[in-house]
Amino acid sequence: MSRIVPSEPAPTRRPWLAVLLALVCPGAGHLYAGYPLRAVAAVFATAIFLIPAALWVWTLPLASGAGLRSLAALALLVLPAADAGQLASRRPAAPGSRRLASVLWLALPLLVALLLALDFTLVTFRWLAVMRLDRESMRPNLLPGDLVLVDVRPGALAGVTPGNLVVFEHPPQSGRLHVKRLVASEGQEVAVQRGELVLDGEARGCVERGDDPTSDEEELGTQRYTVRRGDEESPSFGPLRVPAGSFFALGDDRAVSRDSRVFGPVPISLLRGRPLRVLWSTDLVTKRRRWERIGHDPSSAPLP
């Protein structure tokens, strides 16, 4: 006698409806499919990736930025929607907590609206920006391939003093942003002797790093950081008194950096922001991810 195998129950959720709901409101498709916790995760995953992507795209030229922003937003909507549709097609549909689901049906639209408002505020009012380094001038504190979060709020530069890293535009109206270390403000006398900073007649190098004879620990204001001064044949500069309304900027790799020794003191009006943290880092040659650099504060001593 043959054994009767019961057929699989038809799905009680419609995949196409889950996809549609997920496109309208991130998380709604997962909630419809019976996965309330996955719905919350989808909302926060969208926020985590959407905001940095928007900040990065803001730093690009308008024409390419608009296209990349659209593609990023499309991908961040399509991927969760596809996941919601796949979950809804499971047999049987996954059970979920009715109480939690009821709360989330009301909370998800509000949460998504708040996250989108945050994204709009950061990008529109330009409180934060992201820039990628492609040059060697800030080694060893910042490396080529570092993606750096920059504070560009109007009040971010109020407390900038010698020793701080700054982002500025130079030459004027070029749109080219530079990251350097502000080493002297107006009225100060600055010189560079074989890569070593001399400020108002006082050498600022304090400790020679034993692992690298061409590197020094330099102390300026409240900051103590590592610089690469080059060899004994490195050219000297100055002394020069910084004119009013300007500052003097140097790269931390004094041997290769093009900075105020080349283009002169920079008008304070060209300051644009302060680097905060390394968001992501990729070796531009090997394409290896430098996980250890994520969250690194570039204003302090470099990672070992």
In a domain, 302, yes or no: no
More reliable by pLDDT, 150 or 210: 150
Which residue, 100, 124, 148, sits at the end of a domain?
124
Could you give the percent of the chain with pLDDT greater than 70? Answer: 66
Q: Mark whether 198 and 109 lie in a shared domain.
A: no
**Alpha carbon distance 218, 216 (integer Å):** 6
Q: Within 10 Å of residue 304's Cβ, how many Cβ atoms?
A: 5
The mean of the pLDDT values for the chain is 76
| Residue 191 main-chain phi, psi, to 5 deg | -145, 160
Q: Mark whether 100 and 139 lie in a shared domain.
A: no
Q: Mark whether 287 and 180 lie in a shared domain.
A: yes
Average pLDDT, integer, range 58-81: 58
In a domain, 2, yes or no: no
Q: Which of 138, 148, 186, 143 is nearest to 279 (CA)?
A: 148
Q: Mark whether 140 and 269 lie in a shared domain.
A: yes
Q: pLDDT, tens digit, for every residue of 73-121?
A: 666 667 778 888 888 887 655 555 566 666 666 666 777 677 666 666 6
> DSSP states of 18-46 as a string?
HHHHHHHSTTHHHHHTT-HHHHHHHHHHH
**Alpha carbon distance 159, 28 (integer Å):** 44
**Residue at token pair 């593609």:** 71
**Residue at token pair 């644009």:** 272
Print burial letters for 225-260: b (CB count within 10 Å at least 16), e (below 16): bbbbbbeeebeebbebebeeebbbbbbbbbbebebb
State which residues form the domain around 56: 15-124
pTM score: 0.63
Domains: count for the chain = 2
pLDDT at 207: 62
Q: Mark whether 36 and 174 lie in a shared domain.
A: no
Residue type, 256: V
Which residue, 96, 124, 152, sits at the end of a domain?
124
Q: Mark whether 62 and 133 lie in a shared domain.
A: no
Q: Mark whether 143 and 261 lie in a shared domain.
A: yes
DSSP H helices in 98-154: 98-124
Contact (CB, 8 A) for 273 and 129: yes
pLDDT at 166: 92
Q: Mark whether 113 and 134 lie in a shared domain.
A: no
Which residue, 104, 124, 144, sits at the end of a domain?
124
Q: Residue 61: pLDDT above 50?
A: no
Q: Mark whether 243 and 268 lie in a shared domain.
A: yes
Q: Mark whether 103 and 205 lie in a shared domain.
A: no
Task: Say which residues have a Cβ less than 8 Å from residue 60's Cβ, sequence separation at least 6.
Answer: 68
In a domain, 303, yes or no: no
More reliable by pLDDT, 140 or 129: 140
Q: Mark whether 205 and 141 lie in a shared domain.
A: yes
Strand order in the sheet with 246-250: 128-132, 146-151, 271-281, 165-169, 177-185, 246-250, 266-267
Q: Mark whether 210 and 271 lie in a shared domain.
A: yes
Tokens of 190: 């600055």
Task: Say which residues have a Cβ less than 8 Å from residue 169's Cβ, sequence separation at least 6.
Answer: 175, 176, 177, 178, 270, 272
